[in-house]
Every structure is written in structure tokens, then in C-alpha cells.
């Protein structure tokens, strides 16, 4: 199941279309360990807050619409003689929580593996940067007043329930989220939420949209840099016409350059820019480093979830974009790489090269992080 299918029930509802609905709800089985509820439990939140030396700003706290100062729930310490600041003081944080404050886990996609994988897969499906936060709210409490976000949001409940007030063109709508239910909110949708009779834990996935304007600006920027940076001539305030001719010449040169711009090259640059800006996804990498030399034709391998593999023809060579890095291989390897791209799991023997080439390629892909040993 794709990340979008898990969140929305139908990836095609979202990919390539305008996300116009104010409220889109999707229900999953709360008892399914592979579903939404298993991504972050109350026990997981407890562990993060009290047992793993988490630091601000990975945690912040809010109560009745106000963000609490970090000094109210953090402390200092030393490690190897160096000062550490911003460590969450579990006793202070729990006391504030007991008094009605919401605990916000920020940037969970950076340090909580289940959400790291989900966000990585979602980014590949959407082509937009994504992030994950979680909100742990005491019974009957509200962390934030009505507000809107500058990005699209998927929200899903993993424990307890929360009453959402979602504002649309026809006024506010009440939505109750319970474990296993996800909700999609487009950019700018005003909303607020309050926990009900039990503690509430929900996750928000923010989608930071890349836009056509941004792509056009990045495509045009190199051409604009070709325009000379000389000063405007003195006296143009009294004789504005003195600028008209030179400006027309520069605009015409820019228009000619724009007409000659290569859309394919611009798109390739955009794909490379996006992929290389994402952090490496290498959970389990130590095991793979130790195991790659022992691969056999029958070793079970799996495509690492959320790891990109984009193939770019370079004549007799093939460039393979792998997120934070790329590799160059002979063009005749393409059929094997297409097979890797098409399968969730495989063995070296499944690839259409000779036995030795299959092993060499798979060992390289394990070292590079695209494949992992099952």
C-alpha cells in the first residue's frame, strides 16, 4: 500500500489534481499494526518525552493558545565536559502536561523511524517536501486557538479522540477524529482542536508545496544572471526615455534566451535539486555494510522504503540519482535497474544480467543504500 493510499484511501484522488475539498476523511482499521495507529503510540510518545534525552526545539509545549517558554520544561547538562542546553526535563514537562499543556513533538520525520519511512515514501509519491509533527494533549484541553497553516496537512489520530473545528466557505464544521481516522486540510484552512474525555495523540504531516512560479523562477534565474549589472545612467529621472531603448534591448535578449531554454534540462535540474535536498534514509545501514560482501544469488533484498532511483541517459553511461548522491554505470545495466525499480523485493538471480554482474550491481546498490538485506 502506498503512503497516499494509507492516508487518503485513493492516491489518484490527490496526485496531479487540485485538492479542493475542505475536509476529506479516510478510515483505516485501528487494530491493524501496519496502519496509521501503529506509527506512533502513547508508549512511543512517553519514551520520546521521558527516556531518550530529547532536546528543544524537537519538543515544545503550548497551553490555551500560548507557546510556553523553553525554560519552563528544559534543563542543562554536560557531556564529555561540554555544556548541553535545551534538554527536556521530563519531570517539568509531565507536570505541565498534567496541568493542561500540550506536548508538541516537532520534526519527527528526522528521528522517529516509522514516520521517517512514511514521510520518505510520501515525498516520492508527491514530489513535495513533507514533515511530521505530533501533538499529545491532556483530556479536555486545547493547545492552540483557531489558526491556519501555510501548507497542506494530513492529520491522523493514533490515541484518544479530538474534536476539530474546521472553517470552510459555508462556516465551521465539527469533525471528531478517533484512532485510525485521517483528515486532509488544504493550505489556509482555519482550524482548532480539543481533546475529549481521554488523552489525545495525533500526527500532522505537512506538505510544503513546490509551485509552478518557483519552478519558472528557478528556470529563469540563470538567464537573468546573464543581464549586465551595470548602473543605470545618470539623468534618467529627468529623461526617462533614455532608459527605454537599452531596456528594450535587454528584454529582447532575455526573450530570445527564454525561447531557447530547454524545458527538459530545467525539469532534470528540478528533479536533481529536490532529491539532493532530502536527507539520506539509511536505517539498518550498519547491518547492510556488514552483509553486502556476503551476498549470494539467493540473498533476499528489498528496495529501501522512500529511497529514490531516477535513471538519466548519458549516452554510453547511465546516471542514477539516489537522493543525496548519484552513481554512474554503463548504459547496458539499465534493464537490471528497471527491474530493481519495479520490484519491492528481489534476489540478485532475478536480474537479467550474468550472475557475476548481478552480484556486483546488487552489492553496489546495497552500499549506496537503495537496497537493504532482508
CATH code of the domain occupying 3-207: 2.60.120.650
Contacts of 366 (CB under 8 A, 6+ apart): 288, 291, 292, 295, 301, 372, 373
How is residue 137 written as a grid cell?
Answer: 494533549
CATH 3.90.930.40 fits 285-373, yes or no: yes
In 3D, which of 366, 324, 333, 330 has the Cα closest to residue 347? 366
Write the pLDDT tens digit of every residue in 266-302.
999 999 999 998 888 888 889 988 988 899 999 999 9
> Do the domains at 3-207 and 285-373 have one common CATH topology?
no
Q: What is the pLDDT of residue 14?
A: 56
Domain ranges of the chain: 3-207, 212-261, 285-373
Q: Which residue(s) pair with 201 in the sheet?
A: 136, 159
101-131 pLDDT, tens per residue? 999 999 999 999 999 999 999 999 999 999 9
Q: Grid coordinates standing for 151?
A: 501548507
- In the predicted model, residues of the chain with pLDDT beneath 50 are 16-20
Q: How many CB atoms lie within 10 A of CB 122?
A: 24
pTM: predicted TM-score of the whole model, two decimal places: 0.89
Backbone Cα Rg of the chain: 26
Q: What is the DSSP string of 189-229?
A: --EEEEE-SS-EEEEEEEE----HHHHHHHHHHHHHTTS--
- Phi, psi for residue 242 in degrees, rounded to 5: -65, -20
Q: How far apart are CA 235 and CA 57, in angstroms?
A: 53
Predicted pLDDT of residue 176: 94
The three cell numbers locating residue 21: 475539498
Count of beta carbons in the 10 Å neighbourhood of residue 203: 23
Amino acid at each position: 500500500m502506498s503512503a497516499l493510499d494509507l492516508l487518503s484511501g485513493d492516491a489518484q484522488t490527490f496526485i496531479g489534481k487540485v485538492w479542493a475539498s475542505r475536509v476529506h476523511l479516510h478510515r483505516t482499521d485501528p487494530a491493524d499494526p501496519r496502519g496509521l495507529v501503529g506509527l506512533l503510540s502513547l508508549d512511543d510518545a512517553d519514551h520520546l518525552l521521558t527516556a531518550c534525552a530529547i532536546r528543544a526545539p524537537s519538543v515544545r509545549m503550548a497551553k490555551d493558545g500560548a507557546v510556553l517558554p523553553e525554560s519552563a520544561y528544559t534543563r542543562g547538562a554536560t557531556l564529555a565536559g561540554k555544556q548541553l542546553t535545551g534538554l527536556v526535563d521530563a519531570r517539568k514537562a509531565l507536570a505541565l502536561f498534567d496541568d493542561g499543556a500540550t506536548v508538541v513533538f516537532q520534526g519527527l520525520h528526522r528521528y522517529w523511524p516509522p514516520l521517517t519511512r512514511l514521510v520518505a515514501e510520501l515525498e516520492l509519491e508527491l514530489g513535495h517536501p513533507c514533515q511530521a509533527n505530533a501533538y499529545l494533549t491532556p483530556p479536555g484541553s486545547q493547545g492552540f486557538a483557531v489558526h491556519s497553516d501555510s501548507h497542506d496537512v494530513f492529520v491522523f489520530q493514533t490515541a484518544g479522540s479530538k474534536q476539530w473545528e474546521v472553517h470552510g466557505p459555508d462556516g465551521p464544521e465539527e469533525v471528531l477524529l478517533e484512532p485510525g481516522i485521517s483528515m486532509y486540510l488544504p493550505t489556509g484552512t482555519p482550524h482548532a482542536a480539543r481533546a475529549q474525555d481521554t488523552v489525545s495523540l495525533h500526527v500532522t504531516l505537512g506538505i510544503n508545496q513546490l509551485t509552478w512560479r518557483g519552478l519558472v523562477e528557478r528556470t529563469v534565474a540563470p538567464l537573468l544572471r546573464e543581464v549586465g549589472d551595470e548602473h543605470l545612467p545618470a539623468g534618467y529621472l529627468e529623461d526617462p526615455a533614455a532608459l527605454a531603448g537599452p531596456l528594450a534591448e535587454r528584454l529582447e535578449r532575455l526573450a530570445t534566451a527564454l525561447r531557447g531554454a530547454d524545458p527538459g534540462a530545467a525539469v532534470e535540474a528540478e528533479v536533481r535539486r529536490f532529491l539532493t535536498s532530502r536527507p539520506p534514509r539509511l536505517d539498518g545501514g550498519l547491518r547492510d555494510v556488514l552483509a553486502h560482501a556476503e551476498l549470494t544469488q539467493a540473498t533476499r533484498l528489498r528496495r529501501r522504503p522512500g529511497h529514490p532511483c531516477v535513471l538519466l541517459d548519458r549516452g554510453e553511461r547511465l546516471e542514477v540519482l539516489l537522493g543525496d548522491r548519484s552513481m554512474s554505470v554503463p548504459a547496458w545495466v539499465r534493464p537490471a535497474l528497471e527491474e530493481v525499480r519495479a520490484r519491492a523485493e528481489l534476489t540478485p538471480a532475478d536480474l537479467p544480467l550474468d550472475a557475476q554482474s548481478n552480484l556486483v550491481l546488487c552489492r553496489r546498490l546495497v552500499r549506496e543504500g537503495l537496497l537493504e538485506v532482508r
